[in-house]
Every structure is written in C-alpha cells, then in structure tokens.
Chains A and B, each alone.
Chain A
Amino acid sequence: MSTDQPPPIAPLPKPDYPRIPDAVLGNGLRVLAVEDFALPKVSLCLAWPTGRTADSSENLALSSLAIELLEEGTETRAARQIADLLDQLAIHYGTQVRMERSQLTLTVLARYLEPALELLADLVLHPAFPDEELEKARNRWRSHLLSQRSQPAFLARERSHAALYRGHPYSRVSFPVAHVEAADRGTVRGAHRRLLAPKGALLAISGAVKPDRATRLAERYLGCWRGEVPRPDRAPLPPIPESRRVLLVHRPHSVQARIVVAGRGLPRGHRDSKPLFLTNQILGGSASSRLFLNLREDKGYTYGAYSTMKWYRRDGVILIGADVRSDVAAESAVESLNEMERLRREPPGKRELNRGRAELAGRFIRFLETSDAVADLEVSRRLDGLPEDYYRNYVQRLQRVTPEVIRETARTYLDPGRTVITVVADRSQVEKDLAQLGPVSVHDTDGNRLD
C-alpha cells in the first residue's frame, strides 16, 4: 500500500448507549444506575431541575448559597468534621448551580461508597447553615464575584445575556454582591426547603455498583427525605431583538478585544435543534470550521474563534466568540456576521456537512467512555424532558440532516441583523472602529452605562 495517499476514513462505529435502569423511591426520588466495574470507583450525582432561574428576583444568590453551605455543617457534624471526612476518604466533592439545574456530586473509591452516601444524605437532609459559616461564604463570594469581573469572557457572556433576555430569568449568568450580603440564615434555609426536595430530583449512581444495591442504599439513606421540587418558572420569553445591537464593555488596560456575536437559539427538545446544532458546528464548532479557518488560519487575528450553543429548557443561545487584536475587533465581528450570512446563502458541501456530523458523533462516542459522563447525559435528558430514545438515536438523527436543511436552518435561526455584538476591550482602542457596526452603547465592567 502506498504511503502517499491517506488511508480511507471508515464510517464511525455505532455508539452503544447503555440501557439505564431506574427506580422511584417512595418519596419520589428517582434513582438511576450506570453499572461499570472496570475501575473500583463510584460517582453519586444528586440533581435538581432548578437552578439560577428558580431564585426569586429579590435575591438571586440564595440557591447558590444554600447548596454551597450544605458542606458547612449539619445538625450532628461541624464543618471541620465534614471536611475531615471528605478528605480522609478522598471523596471528590463538588456542587454546581447552573441556569436550570443544581447538583451535588461525590466521586469516591468503591470501598467508600456507603460512607459517602451516608454523608450525602446528612448534608442534604440535615444542614445547619451556621451563621459563622454563612459569613465565611459571603467573604468567599465577594472575592469570587470581584474576580469574575476581571475576566473578558465572563463580561461578554453577562452583557450578551442581559441584552438577549432583558430581565427574563435567562439573563442570570451571575448575581450581585449585594444579594450575597443580604442573605441570612433564614432566607438560605428557606431556599433549601423550597428547592432541594426528593420528588422531581434524580440520584445517578455510576460505577462499580450493581443497580439493585444502588437503589437499596439510596432507600436506606435517603428514603426518609420528604418534599417536592417546585414547578419551574414560566415567565414569558422576551421577543428576539428586531435589530442588531452593539455593546462595548470598557475594560481599562486590555491588550486584546474579546468579541462575542450572540443570537437566540432553540431549546434542545425543539424539532429543529439537531439541524441547528449541526449548522453551528459548520459555522464555528471546531478548528476545521469556517470561523476558525477565516479568523485564525487565513487572517491570523486570533488564537482561536469558535461558535458554541447554550441549551436552556425553553430557549437557547448561540455565542460566536474570539479574543482578537484590538485593531481588528470591528473587522472580526464583520467577518463573523459574513460567515453567518454565507451559510444562509448557500448550502454547505457534502464533505463539509459530513465533517460536521462526524465531529458531533465522534464527540458523543467519546462521551460514552466513562460511566460518570453517561450518567450526566441521562440526568440532563430526564431533567430536560427529552424522549427516551434521544441519545440512543443521536447519531442517526444527525445523518438525516441534508445540506438544504442546513441552509434553511441558517435562514430561520441565524440572522446577523438580530444579533447582539459585545466587545470587551479598552474603549480607546476600539470605539471608533465599532461605530461602523451601528450605534455603540458603552458599559463599565459593573454593567453601568458610560455613554
């Protein structure tokens, strides 16, 4: 065989999405089990379908504080004892509050599964929220929220969401320091009681444990837990912007510009979500996609340019982003809009479409490598109310998308005229150039208008 020619690219293997048994406890908690005895470890993921959007607008910090403070004391264990136990058993512990999902995860050597689950139950069922721990959490949040405002990517994401969602809960990518200051033991405890309940929540146990043992242990430690997760907020979504907006976040002493072109997308359950995902992939999903080849490989403006999608339960966002040389910030935004336009004009070639499909399918297959990741997919599928075969037929659905469907999808959902362009930079270096994109509103890094 000649070594001048590439070996043929074989079709992707069919992914093997496992059957995931589940059981519902008497209190409504659903337990999922992803069995995998390859390594002696187990992960526990306790997830709720509520996140930042479930906080009341008076205090957006409460659900984050409630989850974070679980580890800072229960009725029978002080924070120090909990820390000692977590570290002694090498329990990898984490909490997360996202837009519409909150979770605790504990990953542990299989031999310590039972003490880890006992601890998890104690944290969730009997938290004490001691005042002195709340004060410490306030201090940690103060510095975290302050540091966040020094990051260009965060500032761009925050401003884009604020402009796309104008006061709707989906505009919440963080919360103000004042809300952390205002939280007290009573309000944090109230958030815990309201949000962290078993009925409507999921416990995924993945790794070296049999499903029937997983369910038995869950019943033993969490069976006495009571309550129901509140119904999700149904605040009407604001209309998609009628015209393009240009926002500049003045970050003094920046030596580069972060540009983000943001548009409203779709929820994952929408019938057009697969075609849109694939359209986004061709636009900017990888280093072989149009944006990257244009802005980096052709022009050398940036280290990388990508387009990503955020999926929310009732909507979604497309974010085209790059850190570019300040003197080409406006031009980079124009090129990004041109690439959107090009996809609306002409369908992609067959090879390009196949590449997009293979990238998404390959990423999915790699995801199935670990039981934790499979559990995570299954948790998100169920919390988002996606059909049972959503992941089983994931790759086949991608295959059905044709070049013409991509063009139609781009025409329907990728409208350069209805985007929000956010540039985070030192205004002295970019403001004049940005005027060619439209009227520019200037903000400081705290979100206050400067113009």
Chain B
Amino acid sequence: MKTDADPTGEGLNIPRVRFRQETLPNGLQVILRPSQRVPMVHISLHYRVGSSCEVPGLSGLAHLFEHMMFQGSRNVAKNDHGRFVDEAGGRWNATTSKDRTAYHETLPSNCLDLGLWLEADRMNSLDVTAENFENQRQTVIEEKKQSYDNRPYGRAFLRLDDLAYESWEYAHPIIGAVEDLKRATLADAREFHRTHYGPGNAVLVLSGDLRESSALESIHRYFGPIPDRTRSVRPAFREPSQQAEKRETILDPLAVLPLVIMGYHMPPVGSPEYYALSTLALLLTDGSSSRLYRQLVYERNWAAGLSAGPNQYRGPGMFQIFLQIQDGVPVDPVLDLVEDELGRLCREVVTPQELDKARNQLAFRFVRRLEKVSDVGEILAHHAVFYGDAGEINREWSRYNETTPQDILRVAAETFRPENRTLLLVEPGRG
C-alpha cells in the first residue's frame, strides 16, 4: 500500500486552546476563548449542582429546577428566555447531570449581550408561579416516561447506579422518583435557587467571535451586581470498597434483545486510573478491530452492539461495559468471553501497536472536538467544573501519552476484580 502515514503515532500535533480566565469579586469564574472563524458566540453557564446535591425525599429536584429556569425571572416572562434567543437566530438548551447543571446559548455574535442579560437575570432572581411549577412537574413526569419508561432498557439504565452505588448521592436517578417529583413544592424550588444558584457557584464560558475587553465589560455589567448568597456544598461521597459482586436480572417487556451491563468501581475523572481505563476502553470496544468487537460481533456474532468506558462522574467513578446480546444467544458464554478478555488485560501488557492505535484515535477526537465554538465552550466549562482548572484541556493529551502499558496492566488488575463488579442483566419479557 502506498502511504504517507506515520503508524508510530508520533508527531501528532494537537492544537492548543488559548483562553483567558478571570474571577469576579462575587466569585463568578469567567473564561473567554476568542476565535473569529464564524460570527457566532457560545455562552455556557455551568452551576456546580447536580442530582448528587439533592436530599432524600426530593430526588429529581435539580433537574425539575432546571425546567424552572425557563419559567420566568424578574425581567423575563415565562418562555421568553427561549423566545428571545430564537428571535435572535440563536440556539439554547440546558442539561442536568449528577454533578452539574449546564445552560447554554449559541448566538450571532452581535447578540452576545442579550444572552448575558438573560442568564444574569435568572441567576439573580426567579419568578415562577404555582401554576407554572405544576405544569413543569407534569412535563418532567412525561419526560421520564419518554426517556426511560417507554423505551427498551430504560428502567435498567435507571437501576444501574442504584444497584452499584452505596452513596445515595449517585445511586438515585437524575430524573428522580415520581413520588418525589409529586412531593416537591414551589418553596423547595425557591430554596434550591437560593442555595445553589449564584455567581460563587458558577462558571461562565464565552467561546467564539468576541472581543475580550468589551465582553468582560458586559459580563461585569450584567453579573457584577449579583450578590453571592449560595451555600452549595459538594456532597461528601461515602463509597466503600465493594466486597462482593452485585448481580440482578430485570425483565423488560419493551426490549427485544437481552442486554448485559457491567460496572466496575474506579477512581474519579482526572485520576491516572481514569486515563488508563479510558485508553483501555478504546482497545476493548472502539472500532471493528477492537478486542471485544472483533470476537463478540465480528467473529461469533454473539453481540448486536457494545460499548465501554468510564461513566464521567466527578466523584467515585464506574467503568461500564454494555453488551446487547443477539437473539437466541445464551448469556453465559458471552460473560465468560468478556471475563477472559478482561483477565488478559490484567495479565498481559497491551502491544505497542494497540497503544499507537489508541493514540491515533484520541488525537482524532482531540482535533474534532475543537471544530465548533459550542463544543469548545462546553469542554472548557466541563474542565473548569470537574478538574477545577480549565487549563486541564491543554494537559489532557500528555496525560494520555504518559499512560504506559504497565499502567494499563496495573489499573486493569486493580479494577477488574470479580468482587468489584456489578452485573445487571436485562431479559425481554414481563415481570
């Protein structure tokens, strides 16, 4: 084959992300990343609050509250947040995870101030009526049905953390229990805003077509006067080392093929183990030459689909493997094969060729994630919240490169222990 490829994976140039950081006197952390390729700017506002900050009896409140942020604030009527952004030709949304709640707008750059004004107004004040609260409670209950209850494997996805984690903070689902959603009151929502929503508990990232000085001026104007009254506390996870395997079978009337989910407890994102296990995940299931894909999908046709990787939680992490089993294939030989492969990772160092392959795949991802101002903005915000330093975005590549075959061997042996495993089996059928 004629090729100009460099199969050693050396000399891969990953572009650096240049940005500027500043913290306002009220504690708001600000990150600016100018790039003038397109006349658009992405505003990303991450609050350091997710479902792990909830209290028992009020599960789902962080996410329900995310809906409240579109229901009105002092100067913005219900639904007007989205309407203003839409009228400017922008895009907006929000997501809630276990560890953070993220709001974003992508706007034409001449409407940057509009986006900042909207976010500042709802950070500063909330103006939700009882009727609107009730309406969003119903909406979230329908969201739960659409995303989980009416979807194949949906209940299993909710059950996995519940089974694997001892810490209630991560064990309970983000969407919450319906009885808790029904129990939540408007007063709970207001209290949630007071406790967690303020400049001292947030990271604001602007990415795209912006001038640093005028953007900072606008940020000071809109966010500067907001006092910080938050009392948000990061949950103290008590996740004891797992001493015996946990195993459960779920019958799912909506599923047509069995699904196996495996979870192995692991250290949090950003740890050396995280980089070793992320690399190892590429070798296991990424691409049709990967170890498990080749054996389970390609050669034996035992699996219809598979994936693996760390669960991306800020606290105690979990390495997850998902395997959708082909119709009529018994589960036990599939499990044996996966165990054999994980055992091999604990005994034999990965080959230099496999490691080069993983590095090429990582380099590709690192380049690709810099294409859009929205992606860059979200990644910077993610790093600021999860690692406490957005600059980690430029050190990540070397963290992966510093991971040696011996590191992978050691971390595999520490992680893939039978007693460290949670196994959830979903079988089609009625329970």
Q: Is the CB of A362 within 8 A of B1?
A: no
Of B3, B87, B297, which is in contact with the most chain A CB atoms at under 10 Å from its CB? B87
Q: Is the CB of B114 within 8 A of A9?
A: yes
Q: Is the CB of A365 within 8 A of B40?
A: yes
Residues in B97-114 with C-beta less than 8 Å from chain A: 106, 108-111, 113-114
B332, CB-defined interface residue at 8 Å: no
Q: Is the CB of B88 within 8 A of A40?
A: no
CB < 8 Å A-B pair total: 234
The interface on chain B, measured as residues whose beta carbon lies within 8 A of the other chain's beta carbons, has a size of 89
Q: Is the CB of A80 within 8 A of B289?
A: yes
Q: A6-B75, A115-B3, A254-B150 are in contact. Are A150 and B256 (CB under 8 A)?
A: yes
Chain A positions within 8 Å of B288 at CB level = 71, 83, 86-87
Residues in A61-95 with C-beta less than 8 Å from chain B: 71, 79-80, 83-84, 86-90, 92
Q: How far is the CB of B307 from chain A (nearest CB, A)?
A: 15
Q: How far is the CB of A186 from chain B (nearest CB, A)?
A: 23
Q: A297-B79, A359-B86 are in contact. Are A39 and B142 (CB under 8 A)?
A: no
Q: Is the CB of A79 within 8 A of B298?
A: yes
CA–CA, A338 to B15, complex, Å?
Answer: 53
B135, CB-defined interface residue at 8 Å: yes
Chain A positions within 8 Å of B150 at CB level = 152, 254-256, 323
Q: How far is the CB of B37 from chain A (nearest CB, A)?
A: 6
Q: A303-B143, A365-B38 are in contact. Are A118 and B3 (CB under 8 A)?
A: yes
Q: A86-B288, A114-B4, A369-B371 are in contact. Are A147 and B256 (CB under 8 A)?
A: yes
Q: Is the CB of B145 within 8 A of A252?
A: no
CA–CA, A351 to B326, complex, Å?
Answer: 53
Size bracket of the A interface: 35 or more
Q: A143-B327, A144-B304 are in contact. Are A361 and B253 (CB under 8 A)?
A: no
B286, CB-defined interface residue at 8 Å: yes
Q: How far is the CB of B62 from chain A (nearest CB, A)?
A: 17
Question: What 1/0 flags go to A345-379 for Cβ under 8 Å of B?
Answer: 00000010011001101110110111000000000
Which of B236-244, B336-344, B357-365, B409-417 is the contact stretch?
B357-365
B135: contacting residue among A1, A152, A300, A325, CB under 8 A:
A300
B129, CB-defined interface residue at 8 Å: no
Q: Is the CB of A87 within 8 A of B136?
A: no
A149, CB-defined interface residue at 8 Å: yes
B5, CB-defined interface residue at 8 Å: yes
Q: How far is the CB of B145 from chain A (nearest CB, A)?
A: 4
Q: Is the CB of A147 within 8 A of B289?
A: no
Chain B positions within 8 Å of A287 at CB level = 82, 86
Name 23 interchain pairs, CB-CB below 8 A, sorted by A. Answer: A3-B222, A3-B225, A6-B84, A7-B113, A80-B294, A83-B294, A88-B7, A90-B357, A90-B361, A115-B2, A142-B327, A147-B304, A288-B83, A300-B138, A300-B142, A301-B138, A303-B140, A303-B142, A303-B146, A323-B150, A355-B87, A362-B90, A369-B371
Residues on A facing B (Cβ under 8 Å): 1, 3-13, 38-41, 71, 79-80, 83-84, 86-90, 92, 107-109, 111-112, 114-115, 118, 136, 139-140, 142-144, 146-147, 149-152, 252-256, 286-288, 293, 296-303, 323-325, 351, 354-355, 358-359, 361-363, 365-366, 368-370
Lowest 9 A-B CB distances belong to which pairs? A362-B89, A300-B138, A87-B287, A303-B143, A10-B110, A358-B89, A90-B360, A7-B113, A90-B364
